């Protein structure tokens, strides 16, 4: 292969264009937007399951009763209730906790060896202190496990359809009617529509 003279190639030129980040990102923006960290719910606020209570970097606050921590250290409510910020020296002398209580008058931390309060989907009901009826034979009287009712079956029927439907909080945090109530309403509307057609046909 023939050798070329050095003057045939010509001088090499290096050109640097006026690009701000040509050599790296050392001169990037240093004052970006805030990440909206901090408390999202105050003490005593009512929250539902999954509500964000506190956003943080690191573990400034720890999840307490009825709360859990996300992958980015965000603390969220584990059940519906009222927010409490507290310290628990029995668990750790320095850590701060965020918890949720079921009733508004409850406090955290709970006393040591106290019963854990849970939401089981039931309502508290006071049992009658005295027996209202006595039965002879095999059934016991008074504080027996078998409870008798003097009312007839007609008094224990399902609530009348004319009553205002009750809205329940669904798992998706929306208030809605139960499916069977929606079906009953559709059936009533259909029956009413059929009756109207019959009356018009008779006329």
Q: What is the CATH number of the domain that holds 95?
A: 2.40.50.100
pLDDT the model gives residue 84: 98
pLDDT the model gives residue 14: 78
pLDDT the model gives residue 160: 47
- Whether 43 maps to a domain, the answer reads yes
pLDDT tens figures, 76-107: 999 999 999 999 999 999 999 999 999 999 99
Pure H helices in 35-144: none
Number of C-beta neighbours around residue 147 at 10 A: 10
C-alpha to C-alpha distance for 184 and 190, rounded to whole angstroms? 10
C-alpha to C-alpha distance for 203 and 58, rounded to whole angstroms? 77
For residues 45 and 81, the answer to whether their CB atoms sit within 8 Å is no
- Whether 151 maps to a domain, the answer reads no
Domain that holds residue 102: 36-112
C-alpha to C-alpha distance for 93 and 1, rounded to whole angstroms? 83
The secondary structure element, H or E, covering residue 186 is: helix 179-202
pLDDT the model gives residue 68: 97
Give the residue ranges of the chain where pLDDT is below 50: 135-136, 141, 144, 159-161
């Amino acid at each position: 292969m023939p050798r070329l003279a050095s003057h045939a190639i010509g001088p090499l030129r290096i050109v640097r264009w006026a690009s701000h980040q040509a050599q790296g990102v050392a001169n990037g923006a240093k004052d970006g937007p805030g990440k909206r960290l901090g408390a999202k719910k105050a003490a005593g606020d009512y929250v539902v399951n999954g509500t964000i209570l506190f956003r943080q970097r690191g573990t400034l606050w720890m999840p307490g009763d009825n709360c859990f921590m996300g992958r980015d250290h965000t603390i969220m409510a584990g059940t519906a209730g009222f927010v409490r910020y507290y310290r628990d020296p029995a668990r750790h002398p320095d850590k701060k906790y965020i918890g949720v209580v079921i009733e508004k008058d409850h406090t955290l931390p709970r006393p040591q060896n106290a019963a854990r309060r849970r939401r089981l989907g039931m309502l508290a009901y006071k049992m009658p202190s005295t027996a209202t009826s006595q039965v002879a034979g095999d059934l016991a009287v008074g504080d027996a496990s078998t409870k008798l009712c003097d009312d007839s079956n007609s008094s224990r029927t399902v609530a009348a359809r004319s009553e205002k439907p009750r809205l329940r909080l669904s798992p998706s945090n929306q208030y809605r009617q139960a499916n069977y109530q929606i079906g009953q309403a559709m059936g009533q509307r259909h029956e009413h529509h059929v009756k109207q057609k019959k009356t018009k046909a008779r006329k």
